[in-house]
A and B are shown apart, each in its own frame.
Chain A
Amino acid sequence: MMRLTSSRQGGKLIFALTGELDHHEAGGLMGEMEERIESAAPRDCVLDLEGLRFMDSSGIALILKLYKRMNATGGRLFVANVQPQPMRVLDASGIDRMIDIEPSPAAGRQ
């Protein structure tokens, strides 16, 4: 099961994802995130993946959509606390060349 929580920190909207992110779970997630961005109108957005144990390429599509959404209003997206398995998927996709991605300090890179 996937869980999404959000909080505000100054001008930033922080999304935290917990669980496993695949095509099944990604389904309604972007719509939910867009609604929360609309109502909070943040300057920037942080995607905190500390609690994300697994991610496949559905996660890449989600991050790219979130990046484009923030870019459209001049905001930035930061992806933080990425665990080793999701980090390998992000590394293989090459999107770290365009998006600011930080591995989890506890896990580091494998």
Chain B
Amino acid sequence: MKELNSVRFEFPSLSANEGFARGAVACFAAQLDMTLTELGDVKTAVSEAVTNCIVHAYPDDIGPVIMRLRILEGGELEIQVKDRGRGIEDVEKAREPLFTTGGEDRGGMGFTIMESFMDLVKVRSKVGGGTTVTMRKRVERRRMAQ
């Protein structure tokens, strides 16, 4: 699928950056004429993916979170959230609802929310080698900005 626009940015895994990541994606996604519901879905999925990096990828230290956003031909938004943290041992298990290694403060609903709100969620992970989450959200073509 042809790429129409893209942006890439990196920030340290500080929890204060969760709001920044949501806001940055919302600004970029404004080029697609999303409904408020679609925009809310995208912001929620980004918040979950970035929080996973902060809580699970770098539990004891601060590391880089790399985001790449792309607008694809046909009105699709692709969001990639990548870390160089400790990785996920069992990706299938991590994607199960209510599974968490984050204690009581995390509900284990992160991947469930991402999957409910996005059209596609791909997770690639290697223990000790980091995790990449790629998500896509389709926007109806008739609503795309000219």
Contacts and interface: CB of A to CB of B under 8 A. Distances in A.
> Interface on chain A toward B: helix, strand, loop, or mixed SS?
helix
Given A23-B54, A23-B55, A61-B104, A84 B117 contact: no
Interface residues of B, number: 26
Given A88-B40, A92-B112, A57 B15 contact: no
Contacts of B106: 23, 57-58, 61
A57 B116 CA distance: 12
Contacts of A93: 107, 109, 112-113
B37 A84 contact: yes
Contacts, number: 76
Contact of A24 (B19, B104, B113, B117): B19
Nearest to B15: A24
A56 B107 CA distance: 10
Interface stretch (B42-50, B70-78, B133-141): B42-50
Interface of B: 15-16, 18-19, 22, 36-37, 40-41, 43-44, 47-48, 51, 54-55, 104-107, 109-110, 112-113, 116-117
Interface of A: 20, 22-24, 26-27, 54, 56-58, 60-61, 64-65, 84-85, 88-89, 92-93, 110
7 A-B pairs closest in CB distance: A24-B15, A85-B40, A61-B107, A56-B47, A57-B109, A92-B116, A23-B51
